[in-house]
Amino acid sequence: MDKRTPQLGDIQETLLIPLYGRAVETRKRRGMLNDPRAVEMVDALDYDFSRFDGAKSLLGASLRTLIFDQWVSDFMERHPSGTVVELGTGLNTRFERLDNGTVHWFDLDLPDVIDLRRSFFEDTGRRRMIAASVTDPGWPDEVRKSPGPYFLAAEAVLLYLEEELVRSVFQLVGERLPGAHLALETASARMIDSQDSHDVLAGMAARMHWRCDDPKAVEHWQPGLRLTDSRTLAQLPAPVARRLPVPFRVLLRAMTTLRRRDIEAYRFNLFRFADE
């Protein structure tokens, strides 16, 4: 079969990093996750993924995915027919990993990404793609056609926006999807300022912009907004930590001791918006 060359903008191209991270883990005998669709997509794309080989941040990307998976699973356990929205979905396969047969799902990304995504995924009755920017005021109206409550997962997305745009996304969600949960990461100013030496991003054109030293401070952006969870790679949710093969646990323990400041700089956060 002919391989497809991804035609993607600079920020969009970053989707290939977590995709490759999941494929690499899947190909290992004892990887931290199993994602055969990621392997299929990597094999079907004409792209030099070897440029990412050996980068530690591939492991970080897969650990991050497991944290987000855990939050989405917890939500689906409480609300089996609620709606999950992947904001900046890339070639994410969370639905494939977690579908419970009743959840509703949207995968939103910029038009060039959705075009690529459509060569691997199809819309179904419970799962649909939206070609839009997360800052576009129209997408919550699509989502509202699906039953609540709503869980929005913005994995490795909002960091690429200027703070003003991140604030506009919070405002949009607060107004149009009250009561929603929103999962996202924050990166400290120090981490953003040192990204030119990041093991993968250094070689790519995309740059992160949103500096956030304290995710708790985001609560002040709007009344009733609450930070319900915030953790680092050193504080994996118990079910994630239990599933990790021993070599990962050892590596993680070493990294959290040796590179404490770096680990603290990058946080995984869960927000809950005020109810109507």
As beta bridge partners, residue 108 has: 87, 130
Is residue 52 a contact point for ligand SAM (CB under 6 A)?
A: no
CA distance 231 to 229: 7
**Residue 160 Cβ vs ligand SAM, minimum distance, rounded to whole Å:** 5
Is residue 187 a contact point for ligand SAM (CB under 6 A)?
A: no
Both tokens of 124, joined, read 């179904």
Of 78, 73, 146, the closest CA to residue 107 belongs to: 146
Q: Which is nearer to ligand SAM, 133 or 232 (CB)?
A: 133
**Residue 222 Cβ vs ligand SAM, minimum distance, rounded to whole Å:** 20
- How far lies 41's CA from each of 6, 21, 77, in Å? 11, 12, 29
Is residue 18 a contact point for ligand SAM (CB under 6 A)?
A: yes
Is residue 159 a contact point for ligand SAM (CB under 6 A)?
A: no
Q: Which position among 23, 55, 134, 263 is part of the footprint of ligand SAM (CB under 6 A)?
A: 134
CA distance 118 to 54: 30
**Residue 135 Cβ vs ligand SAM, minimum distance, rounded to whole Å:** 5
Is residue 84 a contact point for ligand SAM (CB under 6 A)?
A: no
CA distance 139 to 133: 8
Both tokens of 168, joined, read 């506009």
Query: What letters, b where the CB count within 10 A reaches 16 and e where it falls short, cover 34-69?
Result: ebebbbebbeebebeeeebeebebbbbbbbbbbbbb
Is residue 6 a contact point for ligand SAM (CB under 6 A)?
A: no
**Residue 251 Cβ vs ligand SAM, minimum distance, rounded to whole Å:** 21
CA distance 221 to 162: 15
Is residue 21 a contact point for ligand SAM (CB under 6 A)?
A: no
Is residue 89 a contact point for ligand SAM (CB under 6 A)?
A: yes
CA distance 17 to 41: 12
Q: Which position among 156, 184, 218, 244 is part of the footprint of ligand SAM (CB under 6 A)?
A: 156
The stretch near ligand SAM (CB under 6 A) out of 12-20, 122-130, 144-152, 179-187 is 12-20
Q: Which position among 26, 70, 83, 92 is part of the footprint of ligand SAM (CB under 6 A)?
A: 92
Contact positions vs ligand SAM (CB under 6 A):
11-12, 14-15, 17-18, 88-90, 92, 109-110, 113, 133-135, 155-157, 160
